[in-house]
Structure 1
């Protein structure tokens, strides 16, 4: 049972990664199908970007983003309000001994990707990227 204890400091275990991905897919399906009895939540299109589980699998942190990036606070509130029903849906659709406690956070990686996209669209950055390497490199660098 405690065989993975010495790996705790080195990132998530394979089991944590596998269960996190299974929870991510299951929650994505539940939200896409509108299985939750909350009209406000069902009208939102929410992407589940990632799920990270605690080493004991009792807590699952769910990183989400509403479509278009708007209504973030409303999406988090709706998910929190329906936490119990979402846990029951996980138990129904997955083969876990117990459903983890769900915590919902906005997935900031979407913002980082947008910022990166904007950066690459900047004319000065594009000029620098598209500049031929041959002009910038000295003869020693080409060897």
Structure 2
């Protein structure tokens, strides 16, 4: 996480509250997918939050992300209800699929399948 201390505090607050919103998903947005907020990055004026989510138990991750993006105004409103008294501006939410975990699994598989010959001693 980079940015000023203010951006970092704001990002942590949003990450915590969005995690709770998704955990209590009463709107049916997630369709039984287990969603975690991997990272939140704020722009300098705190008006935009880039939210990176990872999805477990989701058959079609693209559709879950699409559903979240379609209903982001509802999510933003729920976030505003939770943090509205603590902050001046409720940021615009932009959701991205976090691909760090998938990349790590792919790299781990590549490393496991490497055929490295033993070193010859002279």
Per the shorter chain, which TM-score range?
A: 0.7 to 0.9
SS, match of residue 54 in structure 2: strand
Flag the 1:20–1:85 CA change in 2: closer, same or farther, 3 A: same
Aligned counterpart, 2:25:
34
**Whose Rg is larger?**
1
Q: Which stretches of structure 1, 4 residues or longer, exceed 3 Å deviation after superposition? A: none
Higher relative contact order (CA 8 A, sep 6+): 2
User: 1:100, CA displacement in angstroms?
Assistant: 0.4
TM-score normalised by structure 2 residue count: 0.80
Identify, as 1 or 2, the structure richer in helix: 1
Aligned counterpart, 2:34:
45
TM-score normalised by structure 1 residue count: 0.70
Distance in 2 between the 1:67 and 1:119 partners? 22
- Judge which range, 57-66 or 87-96, deviates more: 87-96
Matches within 5 A, 1:55-94: 55-68=44-57, 70-94=59-83
2:103 to 106, 109, 112: 112
Distance in 1 between the 2:58 and 2:5 partners? 31
Where structure 2 has 5 or more consecutive residues not aligned to the other structure, the ranges are: none
SS, match of residue 46 in structure 1: strand
Given that residues 65 and 107 in structure 1 are in contact (C-alpha distance below 8 angstroms), is that contact kept between their aligned partners in structure 2?
yes
Distance in 2 between the 1:71 and 1:100 partners? 28
Where structure 1 has 5 or more consecutive residues not aligned to the other structure, the ranges are: 1-10, 137-143
Identify, as 1 or 2, the structure richer in strand: 2
